[in-house]
Amino acid sequence: MLCVPSADPNWEQLERLEDVPAQLREEIEHFFISYKRRERKDVQSEGWEDAARAREVVEQALARHRG
How far is Cα 62 from Cα 67, in angstroms, rounded to an integer? 9
Q: Could you report the per-residue pLDDT of 33-59, keeping only the tens digit for each?
A: 898 888 888 888 999 999 999 999 999
pLDDT value of position 44: 87
- pTM to 2 decimals? 0.75
- Domain range list for the chain: 17-66
The mean of the pLDDT values for the chain is 92
How far is Cα 28 from Cα 65, in angstroms, rounded to an integer? 28
**CB neighbourhood size of 21 (10 A):** 10
